Each structure stands twice: as structure tokens, then as C-alpha cells.
Amino acid sequence: MTTPSYEELESFRAFEQSGWNTTAAKYDEFFGGVTPVFCEALLDAAGVISDMRVLDIATGPGYVAGAAANRGADALGIDFAANMVAEARKLNPKVAFQEGDAEDLPFPDASFDAVVISFGMLHFSRPEAVLAEVLRVLQPGGSIAFTVWGKPQGGAAGLGILLRAIETHGSMDVGLPPGPPLFRFSDHNESRKTLLDAGFVDPLITDLPHTWELSSYDVLIDSFREAGVRAGELLRSQNQEALERIVGFVRDELKSYDREGIIGVPMGAVLASANKPT
């Protein structure tokens, strides 16, 4: 795969920022039943306890920052999408949130005991730059933990079904700006290597199985189409004929997961954690 140019990465960053600003008001409605279930495992991996200074990067609606605050931590959520910050403040009125760039964090060195990133690594144009900033703002011995979706052919089969539907019955070439591979950090070895290369120590990578219980065959597509960015734009850019075929494929695939009206599709995550050297 060709490495995206600086201009392409800047275009991808702008695409992501615009996308999250556009979908912010809908995210909790469509994904509030799935991404928050990993919050406690993420905080556990980062060792978050009362009175710790915790930074939640790419906070989105603020699920993880809110959960950290519930543990008694001094939590701060940051996101580059202004509308997401507004949603986070609405959902978590007692928690601090601010706009900010993960590649250029507006904090002094050694400001935090722990940094957490919930499903943000797959959306960063330059994840190595983000990790360099995380290392800088962590105090010595501080911890990082992040989650990404599992592999589409396994732990995150729901996402795999959706992407296969588009590949088979639609088009993946809809003019999206080139960006980092969507499932780069779903690979345990890649996550481990990237953390070590960034200067962290003692990386630990594990799978977090989860079954997303869908109330209908259309929830999967509706969720990503209405509240997703990369996958959402892929769906929104299909012509009507292709979209109908995609919907039909997804419905057929989900039938094997239907148990008396509840469609339980695997939508697991990969959890990575490491420490800053002391």
C-alpha cells in the first residue's frame, strides 16, 4: 500500500473533522449502545483510579471521560470536532471538555497520569504523531490505553459484513481521501510494535469480545450511515441501486445471528496498553 502524501493526510484529517462535526448529534443515538461498553476495560487497562489526572483523547460524546470522573479521577476530554465537544458537555455536564488537536496537545509535559483513546486511533491521520504527544504529556510511569475495532473477519464481524456488502454490491472507490488502514491496530503485533517504537514499554494487547444486539436487520447499516464517518461516507456515496443490494446482502448475512428477534452480531474490540518509562 502506498504511503499517503502530506497533502493526502491533511485532506483525510479535514474529512474526519468535518465528518464528526456533521454526525456528532446522532452518534449517541446510534452507537451509544455499543462503544461505551468498553469504557471500564479501557480505564482498567490504564489503571485509572480516584484522583488521577486522566486525558481522554478523541473523546467524542465523552463516554470515557465521564466514566473516569465516576471513578473519582480528574478527567478531561479533548476532541478536534467542536460539535462533539458540545455533545460531550451535554451528556456529561460535570466533566471538563475542550477542543484540541491530538497531534499538538495544548498541555505541558508530564501533565497526566493516564491517557485513554476510545476508538480514536483508527481515525487519526498521523497516529505516530499522536503517540509522541501522549508520551510527552504523560508523567514518567504514566499509562496509555486505547481501543480499536477487532478484525472484520473475526471479532468485529458486524463491520466485516458491512464492508463485504459494499465491496460485493457497491463501490469502495467513492472519492474518500486516502488515510491510514482502518484495521491497522486491530493487529496485535502492529499495535505492540507501534507502541514500542513510540517509546512506551510493557505493551499489553488483548481482545475484548462483545455481541452487539440489534433490534432489526437495518440497525447495522443505519448506524454507520447516519453516525459513521469513513464507513458512513462509503454508504452515503452509493447509488440507490447499489445501496438496495448492499442492504439486502446485510439483511441476509444477519439472519444467521437472529435468535428469536434479537440479532446478536460480534462487534468486539482490541485493547492496547503500555507505560511511559520511569
Residues 6+ apart with CB under 8 A from 20: 60, 79, 80, 81, 83, 84, 123, 229
Closest CA to 116 of 181, 156, 69, 179: 69
In single-letter form, the type of residue at position 105 comes to L
Interior angle at CA 47, CA 44 and CA 49, nearest 5:
95
Predicted confidence (pLDDT) per residue in 164-209, tens digit? 999 999 999 999 999 899 999 999 999 999 999 999 999 999 999 9
Residues 6+ apart with CB under 8 A from 125: 4, 9, 10, 12, 13, 16, 103, 179, 180
> What pLDDT was estimated at residue 1?
54
> What pLDDT was estimated at residue 264?
97
pTM of the model: 0.96
> What pLDDT was estimated at residue 4?
82
What domains does the chain contain, in order, with CATH numbers?
6-275 (3.40.50.150)
261 in the Ramachandran plot: left (φ > 0), alpha (ψ -120 to 50) or beta?
A: left
Q: Give the whole-angstrom CA distance, residue 135 versus residue 143.
A: 9
* CA trace torsion 134, 139, 140, 143 (10° rounding): -60
Return per-residue pLDDT of the chain as tens, 278 residues. 577 889 999 999 999 999 999 999 999 999 999 999 999 999 999 999 999 999 999 999 999 999 999 999 999 999 999 999 999 999 999 999 999 999 999 999 999 999 999 999 999 999 999 999 999 999 999 999 999 999 999 899 999 999 999 999 999 999 999 989 999 999 999 999 999 999 999 999 999 999 999 999 999 999 999 999 999 999 999 999 999 999 999 999 999 999 988 999 999 999 999 999 99
Closest CA to 23 of 244, 187, 225: 225
